[in-house]
Amino acid sequence: MAEALTEVLSGARASGGLLHRAVLTPPWGVRVQDGAPLAVASLVRGEGWVLPSAVADPWPVPGPGAEPGDRPGPLPLAPGDVAVLRGPAPYVLADDPATPPDLLIQPGDCCTSVDGVDLCEEIALGVRTYGRDPDAPTVLLSGGYQLHGDLSSRLLDALPPVLVLRAAEWDAGLMALVEQEIVRDAPGQQLVLDRVLDLLLVSVLRAWFARPEADAPAWYRAQSDPVVGVALRLLHEQPGHAWTVASLAAKAGVSRANFARRFTELLGEPPMAYLAQRRIDLAARLLREPGATLGAVARRVGYADGFALSAAFKRVRGVSPAEYRAGWPVRG
């Protein structure tokens, strides 16, 4: 199952990602409404709760009358636990589910009070650190991707609204590195923070996908299928090859009709549609590499020239490759 997972996770590449360290005294509540497509949060010390979007908005927390399963409930966090939340809906981190937020994280990395007063200078405690008491008992680390284009659509589609891993379920020691880099102010530090955010996300998702009880996405489960798994490995290892349904079926050792039907049943889309999305996700990543030309990227991902790639890219992503490179806020 490694090939598909590696390729999907390799699409996570933050650019201008945000990481912060909060030092908080109970009662505390932070509502994050910055519209980021994906966020992570973890406690270094103290205790807290994460309230996903269905709970955080509208506030307050729904009472006992809510139907089971209709809305994800608040989830506790202990030191070393990590939460991954899919945006752009808001979420709340608090010392208790009943504590209303008194700090709002807005788009553009702006911190305000509930009534809109800017608090950035008032609560600044140093480099990327905020709070009102440097010796407060709770330390919270949080970060987020700022552009949908920094993440593959296949990855975002695979994630639940919120997932939480306990400290014993993943490499929680990584948070020591995260905390160390957050407060560092050195040349090129944003680039370092971007890669730290990527490393954190990959570490968490790798552990999550490996859990037997995880609701792994179809492309992950299909890797173990004796027919479709063969084709998936080929599509991920050689995305630029001129694959057809017939050639993939031949590699898998079944008829074209049987292969197409089985692939579509397991993946929810035909083989060529899967390949087209795979190629565009790879092209999006390659386009952000320094010096990459449109023609070279096109040839690498299986298009005849830059014109063909540009047309396909805009059809799938909604913007041209040039707009994407310029930092256009593309959809996943």
DSSP assignment of 51-66, as one string? E-HHHHSSSS---TTS
Residues 300 and 201 in one domain: no
Looking at the structure, tell me whether residues 205 and 273 fall in a common domain: no
Where is the domain boundary, 181, 210, 239? 210
Residue 133 and residue 169 in one domain:
yes
227 lies in the same domain as 252: yes
Q: Number of structural domains, the chain?
A: 2
CATH code assigned at 178: 2.60.120.10
* Residue 193 included in any domain: yes
Per-residue confidence (pLDDT) for residue 202, from 0 to 100: 86
Token readout for 70 is: 């209709």
Residue 129 lies inside a defined structural domain of this protein: yes
* Domain that residue 264 falls in: 219-325
Per-residue pLDDT of the chain (332 residues; tens, 9 = 90+): 455 566 666 666 777 888 999 999 999 999 999 888 899 999 999 999 999 875 555 444 333 333 334 456 899 999 999 999 988 889 999 999 999 999 999 988 889 999 999 999 999 999 999 999 999 999 999 998 887 666 667 677 778 889 899 999 999 999 999 999 999 999 999 999 999 998 998 888 888 887 776 666 777 778 778 999 899 889 988 999 999 999 999 999 999 999 999 999 998 899 999 999 889 988 988 888 888 899 999 999 999 999 999 999 999 888 999 988 886 544 44
Q: Phi and psi at residue 12, in whole multiples of 5°?
A: -80, 110
Statement to judge: residues 81 and 194 lie in one domain: yes
pLDDT of residue 75: 94
What is the pLDDT, as a whole number, of residue 329? 45
Contact at 8 Å (CB) between 138 and 95?
Answer: yes
Give the domain-ending residue among 155, 180, 210. 210
**Looking at the structure, do residues 114 and 143 belong to the same domain, yes or no?**
yes
**Of 143, 177, 210, which residue constitutes the final position of a domain?**
210
CATH number at residue 241: 1.10.10.60
* Same domain, yes or no: 79 and 176: yes
| Region class of 188: left (phi > 0), else alpha (psi between -120 and 50), else beta | left
Same domain? 81 vs 161: yes
Residues 141 and 283 in one domain: no
Q: What is the pLDDT of residue 20?
A: 92
The pLDDT value recorded for residue 155 is 76
Looking at the structure, tell me whether residues 188 and 314 fall in a common domain: no
Q: Determine whether 298 is exposed, middle or buried from the number of CB atoms within 10 Å of its CB (0-12, 13-18, 19+).
A: buried
Residue 5 maps to a domain: no
DSSP 141-201: EEEEE--GGGS-HHHHHHS-SEEEE-GGGTTTTHHHHHHHHHT---TTHHHHHHHHHHHHH
Alpha helices per DSSP H over 14-123: 53-56
Does the predicted TM-score (pTM) go above 0.85?
no
Per-residue pLDDT at 14: 79
Is residue 331 included in any domain, yes or no?
Answer: no
65 within a domain of the structure (yes/no) = no
Residue 160: inside a domain, yes or no? yes
44: part of which helix (H) or strand (E)? strand 38-45
In a domain, 3, yes or no: no
Looking at the fold, whether 204 and 158 belong to one and the same domain comes out as: yes
Residue 2 falls within a domain, yes or no?
no
Structure tokens at 316: 């799938």
